[in-house]
Structure 1
Amino acid sequence: MINLSSLDYTIIILFFTIVLAIGIYVSKKSGKNSEEFFLSGRNMPWWLLGLSMVATTFSTDTPNLVTDIVRKNGVSGNWVWWAFLITGLLTVFVYAKLWRKSNVNTDIEFYELRYGGKPAKFLRKLRAVYLGVIFNIMAMAAVTLAAIKIGQIMLGLEPWQTIVYAGVITVIFSAIGGFKGVVYTDFLLFFVAMIGAIGAAWYLVSLPEIGGLKNLVTHENVINKLSILPDFSNTEAVITLLVIPFAVQWWSAWYPGAEPGGGGYIAQRMLAAKNENHAIGATFFFNIMHYALRPWPWILVALASLVLYPDLASIKEAFPNVADNKLGHDLAYSAMLTKLPSGLLGIVLASLVAAYMSTISTHLNWGASYIVNDFYKQQINPNASEKKLVLVGRVSTVVLMLFSALFALLLTNALQLFEVILMFGAGTGLIFILRWFWWRINAWSEIAAMFSSGIISILLNFTSFGEVLFNSETGVFPSWFKFPFIVLITTLVWVITTFLTSPEKDKVLYNFYKKIQPGGKGWKHITNKAQNENINLINSNEKWSVPNGILAMLLGTVFIYSCMFATGYWIYGKYTLALIITTIAIVFAYLLIRVWKKISTTIL
């Protein structure tokens, strides 16, 4: 436990005051109607939305998760989420403009644009509850768990105290400020969070016990954790960290913030953009920051923690008041922050509060948008006034916060929940990619994928059946095959279901094509059919941008990974290698800009 100085308290109180002031300032306009409350009138610029995406995904559990990964599996262990860059860039260069064209209020409203009849209505209602309530509460609980651990180690707070102190202000400004309040505060939260993370890494690596970067990267506890790529002599590590993420995970798994084909709060920000170009710019900026630059301050603190707290026993010895069911490697990040001096400590605590508030406020507004637009308005009160919808949104915000806080008290560590959520979304991602470009997919395809993925994940993760199949020593299959197995079975189920059920009605498919103009051979059957009926679906003034979009995705992937590797090698002091990779990044940036101009031409 640490003692905060007057300066630290001043910084934190000033921060809270500014955030609340922003929420109050925008509350009147945000409460005007539901579109303002959830999308801020669809007039947001790319840079503000991009900063909001970065701030939202910089939650209190993210440094803890990265620390957990680095301490257990080294820097290369981060490929379990770094691989999602491909998903992110596919969203940037292919799906961002499609979402903006759809003009829906939520990504779940898309279901009644793409599909028709009772199955579409059922799917929309089901996803609203499944994502907006269940998954949303799980994600917020992971963030709150991280806040609880920080509160325990740094301030000696009981879990309920952390929840009350951190949650009350967050839920107040989220409920009154709506989406505009979330995005405006994200602008402030981004800079506070980044200054705190970089400042903490700089100071902690400079501690006498660490001795600076040079000593850190040569320390015996750290040297075998530094590699950005896994040990290629370790077959299981290569399969788990590279082969599965790049061959299967990026396109097959649904995860909040990295949904194949876009979705969730990323889609919410794309839908709020001024136009398609602003949607693309926002998501690209987010991916650069999220993958290439932002993780390194956390990684440095995680590596430094191995010097001061090499194992769980040393953490327990230093912080004996931490509950046994909350003891984990992710605690090392909070443990390191207790070494910070007055002033910087206040900034870092404010940055952690900023990270918490940014993520939770986004999830609250996003989840409430599903409850209001896709459940309450559709199933309970279709004739509700705009004032009533905003009120329901505000009440939903408070209820979601309450349930996520209660669930957080039952969790142990962030990595545990990350893996469970990843498994539950396994196999569904391919549908989210293909449903825009293949006419034959219908509502039953998605329903089958949801249920099969969930049921199989429960069987393999929470029953003895999973132990029988995937025990590393006695199982039928190696343990690393669990995720591909879920993907394989789920994919087979939804593909078979697709061909056993009737396609969507022609009218639904025609209307979708006219509005979105997806193009490609996957819609050839429908465009030919419409042509035979003398119905024109194709806008001849618009070129098909998907081939250039995929090329831009590949170039962007190399560019951002090059930036990520170069940043790491500059930090490690491997200057020759860093210079070579930086040059590669510059070359691919130039190529990407050329292709990007072609994409922009096709969507203006």
Structure 2
Amino acid sequence: MHLTTPDWIIIISFFVIFIFIGVLVSKKSGKDSKSFFLSNRNMPWWLLGVSMVATTFAADTPNFVAGVIREDGVFGNWIWWSFLLTGMLTVFFYAKLWRKSGITTDLEFYELRYSGKSAAFLRGFRAIYLGVFFNIVIMANVCLAAIKIGHVMFGLSAYQVLLIASPVVVIYSAFGGLKGVILTDFVQFIIAMVGSIWATIYIVNMPEIGGMEKLLSTPAVAAKTAMLPDFSKPELLIPLLIVPLAVQWWSVWYPGAEPGGGGYIAQRMLAAKDEKHATYATLFFNFAHYALRPWPWIIIGLASIIVSRT
């Protein structure tokens, strides 16, 4: 893919803006640990809600959803839509409790709920397990997606992609703390959604697709548009609907949707102005995460079925 000078200006500006945001808020974020990790607990619900959606929106997320569409159809998304159950539990039960707890991080809760050496051990174990081992897996997935995108679009090697992108994230996170992350999340989410919708409109109007009506009337696509699996086929019904709804939503760790919200979401609830803002933030997150954000990717996934055949 050949990039012109304006293209590079946009890309460089993208990184510069995020570094600028981190440096801009660094003075307030660096006052103490509360300022750094909680932004003084004064964040509004709408900013926190957008940040929650953005932090669960990585480079690999659209690819994953589009892949599910191609493989199983729209109903294949029940593999993660089922987590809405725990998401709403967080909204109406856990959000207020997280904010009311007054703790700094979700791991601190273990020593609030339990006591003694066993509580300290549990907190330390979770910190190492989630902060090191689990996060390495998460970051590896995201970095792999970024590497593939960087190679296809810019012709960059894996090392080049990581050496360009990683320092930018480290800089604005280290300087800006949670507030810097939340503000950059807000900007990134707007850019990502505008890009997703723009890409959807462009792809749907490609000559091979011929518009939305033609897309949905194509037999190969129509077979993938069902919201629910065929109940007469247990081989589809059980793994794609029964298991997610009966077991997966409470037994599997999924960023932002495990019972109680988990680290990513809990940290933002803890930074809310009050309990109402924590509740509204998680409510907006669940609406945007499940009902709003994935539809451009779903449409693109359906369109890719036709494009791959032409």
Match of 2:112 in 1: 113
Contact 2:19 2:168 in 1 (8 A): yes
Is 2:167 the counterpart of 1:147?
no
**Bigger relative contact order, structure 1 or 2, given CA contacts below 8 A and separation 6+?**
2
Q: Which residue of 2 aligns with 1:190?
A: 189
1:130 aligns with 2:124: no
Unaligned stretches of 5+ residues in structure 2: none
C-alpha separation between the residues in 1 aligned to 2:301 and 2:82? 20
Q: What are the superposed Cα offsets for residues 341-377 of structure 1, whole Å, 9 maximum, x if unpaired? A: xxxxxxxxxxxxxxxxxxxxxxxxxxxxxxxxxxxxx
Q: Which amino acid aligns with 1:135?
A: F
SS in 2 for 1:110: helix
- Paired with 1:227 and 1:5, the residues of 2 have a C-alpha distance of 42
- Structure 2 residue identity aligned to 1:134: F
Q: Distance in 1 between matches of 2:252 and 2:194?
A: 32
> 2:40 corresponds to which residue?
41
- 2: distance between equivalents of 1:156 and 1:232? 46
Instruction: Give the drift of 1:223.
Output: 2.1
Taking the TM superposition and a 5 Å limit, the aligned residue runs for 1:79-228 are 79-228=78-227
Match in the other structure for 2:15? 16
- In 1, Cα distance between equivalents of 2:164 and 2:225: 37
| 2:264 corresponds to | 265
Alignment deviations for residues 96-130 of structure 1 (CA, whole Å, 9 cap, x no partner)? 01111111111111011111111111101000001
TM-score, scaled relative to structure 1 = 0.50
1:360-509 alignment runs, 5 A limit: none
Given that residues 201 and 301 in structure 1 are in contact (C-alpha distance below 8 angstroms), is that contact kept between their aligned partners in structure 2?
A: yes
Which amino acid in the other structure matches residue 232 of structure 1? F
Cα distance in 2 for residues equivalent to 1:208 and 1:201? 14
Matched-pair contact (CA < 8 Å) for 2:203–2:300: yes
**Within 2, Cα distance between the matches of 1:294 and 1:212?**
21
Q: Residues 41 and 270 of structure 2 are in contact (CA less than 8 Å); yes or no, is this contact kept in structure 1? A: yes
CA contact (8 A) 1:103 1:271 kept: yes
Q: Residue 209 of structure 1 contacts residue 308 of structure 1 at CA under 8 Å; is this kept in 2?
A: yes
What residue ranges of structure 1 are gaps of 5+ in the alignment? 315-604
**For residue 251 of structure 1, what is the aligned residue in structure 2?**
250
CA distance in 1: counterparts of 2:3 and 2:219, whole angstroms = 34
2:70 touches 2:305 (CA, 8 Å); kept in 1?
Answer: yes
Structure 1 counterpart SS, 2:156: coil
Question: In 1, Cα distance between the equivalents of 2:136 and 2:34?
Answer: 23
Maintained 8 Å contact 2:86/2:260:
yes
- Secondary structure of 1:274's match? coil
Q: What residue in structure 2 maps to residue 237 of structure 1?
A: 236
Larger radius of gyration: 1
**Secondary structure, counterpart of 1:3 in structure 2:** coil
- Asked if structure 1 preserves the Cα contact closer than 8 Å seen for 2:29 and 2:35, the reply is yes
- Could you tell me which residue of structure 2 aligns to residue 336 of structure 1? none
Residues 56 and 255 of structure 2 are in contact (CA less than 8 Å); yes or no, is this contact kept in structure 1? no
RMSD: 1.3
Question: For 1:175-222, what per-residue CA distance to the aligned partner results, in whole angstroms no more than 9, with x for missing partners?
Answer: 111111001111211211111110011111111111111111122432
Deviations 1:478-535 (A, max 9, x none): xxxxxxxxxxxxxxxxxxxxxxxxxxxxxxxxxxxxxxxxxxxxxxxxxxxxxxxxxx
1:226 shift after superposition: 1.3
Over the matched positions of the two proteins, sequence identity in percent amounts to 62
- Alpha-carbon distance between aligned partners in 2 of 1:300 and 1:27, rounded to the nearest angstrom: 40
Amino acid at match of 1:193: A
**Cα separation, 1, equivalents of 2:214 and 2:6:** 32
Which residue pairs with 1:488 in the alignment?
Answer: none
CA distance in 2, matches of 1:236, 1:306: 22
Q: What is the TM-score with the length of structure 2 in the denominator?
A: 0.97
The answer (yes or no) to whether the contact 1:253–1:260 under 8 Å persists in 2 is no
In structure 2, give the amino acid aligned to 1:176: F
Task: Indicate if the aligned counterparts of 2:216 and 2:222 stay in contact, CA closer than 8 A.
Answer: yes
> Which whole-Å CA distance do the structure 1 matches of 2:280 and 2:248 have between them?
25
Contact 1:252–1:260 at 8 Å: present in 2 too?
A: no
Query: How far did 1:162 drift?
Result: 1.3
Task: Please report how far the alpha carbon of residue 279 of structure 1 lies from its aligned counterpart in structure 2 after TM superposition.
Answer: 0.2
SS at match of 2:108: coil
Letter matched to residue 92 of structure 1: V
The residue aligned with 1:590 is none
Cα displacement (A) at 1:161: 1.4
Kindly indicate whether the alpha-carbon contact (under 8 Å) linking 2:106 and 2:266 is maintained by their aligned counterparts in 1.
Answer: yes
Number of corresponding residues:
310
Q: Which amino acid aligns with 1:199?
A: W
**Aligned mates of 1:79, 1:183 — CA distance in 2:** 28
Instruction: Give, in angstroms, the shift of residue 236 of structure 1.
Output: 1.7
| Cα distance between partner residues in 2 of 1:301 and 1:82 | 18
Work out whether residues 74 and 227 of structure 1, in 8 Å CA contact, stay in contact via their aligned partners in 2: yes
Q: 1:85 corresponds to which letter in structure 2? A: L
User: What is aligned with 1:61?
Assistant: 60
The answer for the alignment partner of 1:70 in structure 2 is 69
Secondary structure at the aligned position of 1:23 is classed as helix
User: Post-superposition, which runs of at least 4 consecutive aligned residues in structure 1 deviate over 3 A?
Assistant: none
Counterpart residue number, 1:345 = none
Report SS of the residue matched to 1:222: helix
The residue number in structure 2 matching 1:50 is 49
Which residue type is aligned with residue 121 of structure 1?
A
Question: 1:39–1:268: 8 Å Cα contact kept in structure 2?
Answer: yes
Aligned to 1:552: none
Q: Which amino acid aligns with 2:262?
A: G
